[in-house]
Amino acid sequence: MARAVRDAGLDSEQCYRVRDLSLYKEDIRLYFNDGYLIFSKPVAGERIAAVFTADVEGGDGEILLFPPQRGERQSLARFTGSPNLDEHFQAAVMMFTDSSARDLLENIEKQGSGRKVPEMAPLLSEQWTPVVSNILDSFAPRIAGDLLSPGRTDGLLFAALGGKKLGNFDVVYDPKAPEQILAGQLMERNQRVTYDIWTSFVARRFRTAAATPSEPGFKMTKFRIEASLDETLRLRAVTRATVQIGSLPLRAFAFEISRAEQVTAARIDGAPAELLTRESARSRALRADENEVFLVTSPDLLAPGSVHQMEFEHEGDLITSPGNGVYAVGARANWYPRSGPAFANYELVFRYPKRLTLVTAGDIVADRTEGDWRFTERRTPAPIRVAGFNLGDYEKSSSTAAGLTVDVFGNRRLDPALQPPPKTTTITEVLPQNPRAPRRDQVTTIVQNVPPPDPLARLNAVATDVSACFQYFSVLFGPPALKTLTVSPIPGTFGQGFPGLVYLSTLSYLAPQERPAAARSATLQTFFSDLMVAHEVAHQWWGNVVSGKSYQDDWLLEALAHYSALLWIEKKKGSRALEDVMADFQADLLKAGEDGQSVESAGPVTWGYRLEAAKSSEAFRAITYEKGAWILHMLRKRLGNDRFLKVLADLRRQYEFRAVSTADFLDLIKKSLPPGVTPESMDTFFDNWVYSTGIPTIRVRYSVKGKVAPWKISGTLEQSAVDKNFSVDIPVEIQFAKGASQTVWVRTSSEPTGFSATLKQPPLRVSVPAGSGVLAVRK
């Protein structure tokens, strides 16, 4: 089927001169005003591609696409200079498994918008067949999968357009995607191929509740992975998964796996199944990750609701080493075949050289050594989202308290990247001493090796900290899904929190003064010593007990992990420590990016990975993590500490082992509002802070009336530097010489907002003080 797809070729019997032909697909409008249109030969009875070229006198094609939301129009404008896509094109290569081919042919026949020109076919074929084959080849698993699925209504339309102003770009309608409409462009930026998503949104028929998005065709409920690492640490594994078919019969199954691996065999219920692996840079870039999609096809159609055992044999060199006996696992999340994020139970069996220690999630079922090999078998006591592992030559520090066990592993030897460069000292001696002789200086260079930092300096400190914050979060958010948490090192400056397994930067294990010079600012020391550790521990709840519904909700889990870490820092070091970090975050967000605009203005927090295409390279990190943490900080100030923590506990309880969306989170907040805070004000809060951009500048002016009690103050709060519809609740604090201060909440708008208060004693100061918990520049 895949070969037939790739070799489909163009059909001289279906070559037309077209005029005023159009194709409407939900929000996408394609007009083939004047030119040639040639279809591919049929595959499994369906025409899967067509080429339009405007290569005639006065030839023209045009596309119209109007994003329905303001944020999406802003995004489109950022990339194309216009909030709506209205572009003339010279050529269009289309690929479809929906009704588009039939619709076009019917239109030609019924409206008379085309006449057959078979004489043009040889020329068009010669010119376009390689392009069409290339695109078909890159989508072969998807097209073959669709053609093999009877009763499907979720076919794809993909159009690569040669725009007259915008160059080559793509427009996609894919009912299988959570956002079915997408327009974007493959770009090379800083020698890296990226995919710029100009706009991406829910298609018309799904917006109007008339249709529900297609469900996944199947789900994976249980895994057993038997993996072996040989002397060279090459991984060979057999993964067995329990697969349940959805509401339609199914033959073709798409899975993802790291590009570092090959899948060599697949079986369904013990019988060999056909395997197809093929992907292009474009379809990979569209998914923005490092995986391959492969397809497994069953000889027979599998019945709706039926349960099957799938087996995969796969292998690859996933383990890398920066040297000195330090190791890293590449493709940490995709070392076995997966299909979308879903909670499942796992049995994990590893065989590996006994000189190393392998760590993974789950309770120990067996652990033994035979000759030079060590065997370990684990079973997860609760469903997990993804299973990870790590290995190395480790030292261990363990502790158990209140039923929770923490095992922290550190490398015995130093990650070579952390070895400081040798110290070079130059001594210049002026020779000879006689001033009348010609001068020749003697330069001596002394190279001194700097002793390596101790890679285990903070092993016990990390273990103590992890154990304490693991306990603290259990009290705040309820017990974790897995009662044992393993922490292991990873070369680089990042961390990652898998269920039951945390990867922690090797920098976090070093004494602060021995970290590389570039990591020695106060902010980065806090990051490596405190913030990263607690952030990854918090992912045991945010991400691993509660997951995100789509990429637009990923910010919430990162923000929750980040802010939970800040709650821990506040608990350990006091509220001033938290405020210092928040002030750093604010400064990061206000910094000018490469385009001269503030980093924060690159896009709303809900854009997730799409922010990586922003002109500012800091945008994704600063907006997702730091603005995300600010959003939660402001909610905490508005709700009060107790109500805020209750929302987090409710979130964990109500969404345990499920996915949450930003809108679900807003609904939960609305159920815990303090008196005087309306649900509508929370909608406004989310509109301003979550779904759009902007950090206001605010200024308080006030005057006091009266010489004796009661004193009356009246003032205004001015807002600038944001859109005119930006509005935010600001706590204006009235301080007195004695006693507690008083807070008046004032909602800003484009015009100065007035406020007043009657006081029993004269005010000392009326202001929005530092630490008031509002992301704003105070003037």
| Residue window 509-548: x/- pattern of binding to Zn ion, with contact defined by CB under 5 A | ----------------------------------------
Q: Return the range that interacts with Zn ion (CB under 5 A); candidates 82-90, 189-197, 556-564, 597-605.
A: 556-564
CB of 663 to Zn ion, least distance (A): 22
* C-alpha–C-alpha distance, residues 289 and 554, integer Å: 15
Q: Considering the complex, state which of residue 558 and residue 733 has its C-beta at the smaller distance from Zn ion.
A: 558
CB of 626 to Zn ion, least distance (A): 12
Four-residue CA torsion sign, 14, 19, 24, 29: positive
Q: Considering the complex, state which of residue 559 and residue 700 has its C-beta at the smaller distance from Zn ion.
A: 559
| Residue window 134-153: x/- pattern of binding to Zn ion, with contact defined by CB under 5 A | --------------------
Q: Considering the complex, state which of residue 125 and residue 544 has its C-beta at the smaller distance from Zn ion.
A: 544
CB-count burial class (<10 Å; 0-12, 13-18, 19+) for 58: exposed
Q: Considering the complex, state which of residue 561 and residue 629 has its C-beta at the smaller distance from Zn ion.
A: 561
* C-alpha–C-alpha distance, residues 776 and 779, integer Å: 9
* C-alpha–C-alpha distance, residues 181 and 197, integer Å: 11
Q: Return the range that interacts with Zn ion (CB under 5 A); candidates 519-527, 558-566, 652-660, 668-676.
A: 558-566
| Residue window 475-504: x/- pattern of binding to Zn ion, with contact defined by CB under 5 A | ------------------------------
Given a contact cutoff of 8 angstroms between Cβ atoms, the answer to whether 523 and 582 are in contact is no
Number of residues interacting with Zn ion: please give it, by CB under 5 A: 2
* C-alpha–C-alpha distance, residues 512 and 534, integer Å: 17
Q: Considering the complex, state which of residue 558 and residue 618 has its C-beta at the smaller distance from Zn ion.
A: 558
* C-alpha–C-alpha distance, residues 334 and 262, integer Å: 12
DSSP result, 401-437: ETTEEEEEEEESS--GGGSPPPEEEEEEE---S-TTS
Q: Would you call the peptide bond into 432 cis, given omega within 30 degrees of 0 as the criterion?
A: yes
665-674 per-residue burial string, b: 16 or more CB within 10 A, e: under 16: bbebbbebbe
CB of 624 to Zn ion, least distance (A): 9
Q: Considering the complex, state which of residue 35 and residue 497 has its C-beta at the smaller distance from Zn ion.
A: 497
Q: Considering the complex, state which of residue 52 and residue 542 has its C-beta at the smaller distance from Zn ion.
A: 542
Given a contact cutoff of 8 angstroms between Cβ atoms, the answer to whether 210 and 217 are in contact is no
What's the angle, vertex CA 634, arms to CA 568 and CA 532, rounded to 5?
30
CB of 658 to Zn ion, least distance (A): 19
* C-alpha–C-alpha distance, residues 392 and 355, integer Å: 9
CB of 384 to Zn ion, least distance (A): 16
CB of 502 to Zn ion, least distance (A): 10
Q: Return the range that interacts with Zn ion (CB under 5 A); candidates 42-50, 146-154, 551-559, 642-650.
A: 551-559
Q: Considering the complex, state which of residue 91 and residue 561 has its C-beta at the smaller distance from Zn ion.
A: 561
The rounded radius of gyration (Å) of the Cα atoms in the chain is: 31
Per CB under 5 A, contacts with Zn ion among 37-66 are: none
CB of 516 to Zn ion, least distance (A): 22
CB of 541 to Zn ion, least distance (A): 12
Q: Return the range that interacts with Zn ion (CB under 5 A); candidates 187-195, 349-357, 464-472, 557-565.
A: 557-565
* C-alpha–C-alpha distance, residues 499 and 495, integer Å: 13
Q: Considering the complex, state which of residue 54 and residue 561 has its C-beta at the smaller distance from Zn ion.
A: 561
Q: Considering the complex, state which of residue 558 and residue 600 has its C-beta at the smaller distance from Zn ion.
A: 558
CB of 768 to Zn ion, least distance (A): 31
Q: Collapsing DSSP states into helix, strand and coil, what is residue 666?
A: helix
Given a contact cutoff of 8 angstroms between Cβ atoms, the answer to whether 10 and 128 are in contact is yes
CB-count burial class (<10 Å; 0-12, 13-18, 19+) for 576: exposed
Q: Return the range that interacts with Zn ion (CB under 5 A); candidates 176-184, 402-410, 554-562, 730-738.
A: 554-562
CB of 102 to Zn ion, least distance (A): 46
Question: Alpha helix locations (H) across 271-387?
Answer: 281-287
Q: Considering the complex, state which of residue 491 and residue 543 has its C-beta at the smaller distance from Zn ion.
A: 543
Q: Considering the complex, state which of residue 356 and residue 659 has its C-beta at the smaller distance from Zn ion.
A: 659
CB of 632 to Zn ion, least distance (A): 14
CB of 561 to Zn ion, least distance (A): 5
Q: Return the range that interacts with Zn ion (CB under 5 A); candidates 90-98, 472-480, 508-516, 552-560.
A: 552-560
Per-residue CA distances from 576 to 525, 579, 581, 772 (Å): 16, 5, 9, 12
CB of 577 to Zn ion, least distance (A): 20
Q: From the CB of residue 303, how many other CB atoms can be counted at a distance below 10 Å?
A: 11
Q: Considering the complex, state which of residue 558 and residue 664 has its C-beta at the smaller distance from Zn ion.
A: 558
Q: Considering the complex, state which of residue 37 and residue 462 has its C-beta at the smaller distance from Zn ion.
A: 462
Q: Return the range that interacts with Zn ion (CB under 5 A); candidates 220-228, 261-269, 379-387, 553-561.
A: 553-561
Closest Cα partner for 192 from 252, 281, 119, 128? 281
| Residue window 104-133: x/- pattern of binding to Zn ion, with contact defined by CB under 5 A | ------------------------------
Residue 628 C-alpha from the chain's centroid:
13
Q: Return the range that interacts with Zn ion (CB under 5 A); candidates 292-300, 381-389, 511-519, 555-563.
A: 555-563
Say if strands 250-258 and 235-245 run parallel, antiparallel, or are unpaired: unpaired
- And the tokens for 145? 């999968």
CB of 405 to Zn ion, least distance (A): 22
Closest Cα partner for 229 from 76, 359, 63? 359
Q: Considering the complex, state which of residue 558 and residue 626 has its C-beta at the smaller distance from Zn ion.
A: 558
CB of 631 to Zn ion, least distance (A): 15
Per-residue CA distances from 106 to 112, 147, 209 (Å): 9, 21, 29
Per CB under 5 A, contacts with Zn ion among 559-578 are: 561
Closest Cα partner for 405 from 348, 344, 463, 475? 463
335-363 per-residue burial string, b: 16 or more CB within 10 A, e: under 16: bbbbbeebbbbbbbbbbbeeebbbbbbbe
CB of 536 to Zn ion, least distance (A): 7
Q: Considering the complex, state which of residue 179 and residue 558 has its C-beta at the smaller distance from Zn ion.
A: 558
Closest Cα partner for 544 from 597, 501, 595, 486? 501
Closest Cα partner for 660 from 332, 385, 405? 385
| Site residues, Zn ion (CB under 5 A) | 558, 561
